[in-house]
Amino acid sequence: LFPNQDKLSGKGFGNLIALPLHQPAMELGNSCFIDPETVIPYADQSTFLKDIIRVSTDDLDKIYRLLTNTKNTSVDDFGKLVVKLSNTIEINRGGISTALASFLKDELNFFNAEFIIKKNSGRSTFGTKRYFRFIEESKEYAIIPKGFIRKLLVYCIQNNIDYELDDHRKLLPPANFLFNATLRQYQLPAVDAASKKDIGMIVAPPGSGKTVVGLKIIANKQQPALIIVHRTQLADQWAERIEAF
């Protein structure tokens, strides 16, 4: 039982792992540690607890994988994490440890603020998801957004997780897109940083020239680009800038 509590409120025991050590409970036959061979309570309950050997997280991971895996593979096969990078990231489920699974859930499942705003204001939450969940699962793979690749690999390196990166992204023929404008000085660092990255995000206030910066990056990459905006006005703005430069 967990969590282990150091103090009692006086209202009850709660969820206490120390309850088997409570003498009145033992005298009533309600709670104590027993020898599984003889079904006789241990004479010294504290010594029994002290002598218990803790199971390492590595051993627990191996047991979990053995119990949940459906393929006839050896334990050693679970040590390799295979990361397939294409339009998404596919991770072989057999290589995901419990620690990595917790990391993915913490990073890729998060609360929808719109839901709580509607709920607190008494409005209907129908059709509004409580959580954003960015992990999909198939029989063999966990599928996550490809923009998460850097965080995933950094986590693997920091936690000594052996992984294999299988890059399935395609390099298409050059787009032959020309850019004739001159960037402002403050825009150059963003373009320079983007030239060294495959995936990233540029955040800047209105009027800072994000459209122009984006066109310069496309020209540098010389790859086809899909431009997605949420308003017609922005789509028209992109079209105008493309024609102008």
Query: pLDDT tens for residues 168-222?
Result: 999 999 988 999 999 999 999 999 999 998 888 999 999 999 999 999 999 999 9
Q: Are residues 61 and 111 in the same domain?
A: yes
Grade residue 75 by pLDDT with cuts at 50, 70 and 90.
Answer: very low
Strands 136-137 and 141-145: antiparallel
Residue that wins the pLDDT comparison between 60 and 164: 164
Cα atoms in the 13 Å half-sphere on the side-chain side of 142: 22
Strands 88-92 and 81-85: antiparallel
CATH number (domain holding residue 141): 3.30.780.20
Q: Are residues 61 and 145 in the same domain?
A: yes
Please indicate, yes or no, if residue 107 is contained in any of the structural domains.
yes
The pLDDT tens digits of the residues spanning 167-180 come to 999 999 998 899 99
Q: Are residues 160 and 206 in the same domain?
A: no
Examine residue 3 and say whether the peptide bond preceding it is cis (omega within 30 degrees of 0): yes
Q: Residue 76's pLDDT is what?
A: 46
Q: Residue 11's pLDDT is what?
A: 64
Query: Domain limits at 230?
Result: 185-244
Cα 218 → chain centroid: 29
